[in-house]
Amino acid sequence: MLKTRIIPEEVQEWADTIQDRNPALMVKFYANKAILLATFESLLVGKEAIYGYFVEFLDKENLKCEILENYTQKFEHVDICSGLYAFTFVENGEEQRVIARYTYAVNNKGKITTHHSSINPE
């Protein structure tokens, strides 16, 4: 069943936690053998690799994430969440806004098993 604008708690908490800029907090959202495919990164597998990614990604001044649009497909053992989010941060004294698209697979234990993110084409 496709639901519009209903954001699963895990995905909303992930977005809200970005502003804490703490890689250890971000990794807690992921399953042990989770896969992250980020825009400017090779395929990352497991919490250690994902932690390393967040060390660099979260190193942005005043970083925030807002979910703009979400569609969730609910299945017996996994929810697939796809949509758009906006990252805002300060770079060289100026606020930047980057719109990206995402897909999360969230298992029935509330952990992200797969996360794909890429800059939204203009």
φ/ψ of 105, rounded to 5, equals -110, 120
Give the DSSP letter of residue 120: P
Least confident of 1-5, 13-17, 26-30, 66-70: 1-5
Provide the pLDDT for residue 2. Answer: 47
Q: pTM here?
A: 0.90
Asked whether the predicted pLDDT for residue 80 surpasses 60, the reply is yes
Per-residue pLDDT, averaged over 58-66, amounts to 95
- Number of neighbours of residue 97 by Cβ within 10 angstroms: 10
Q: What pLDDT is stored for residue 5 in this prediction?
A: 60
d(CA 33, CA 46): 4
Confidence of residue 40 (pLDDT cuts 50, 70, 90): confident
User: Is the domain defined by 2-119 classed in CATH 2.120.10.10?
Assistant: no
Higher pLDDT, 39 or 104: 104
Whether 4 has a pLDDT exceeding 70, the answer reads no
Tell me the Ramachandran region of residue 21: left when phi exceeds 0, alpha when psi lies from -120 to 50, beta otherwise.
left
The yes-or-no verdict on residue 3 having pLDDT over 60 is no
Looking only at the bridges linking them, the beta strands covering 61-74 and 78-91 are antiparallel
Spell out the domain ranges in the chain: 2-119
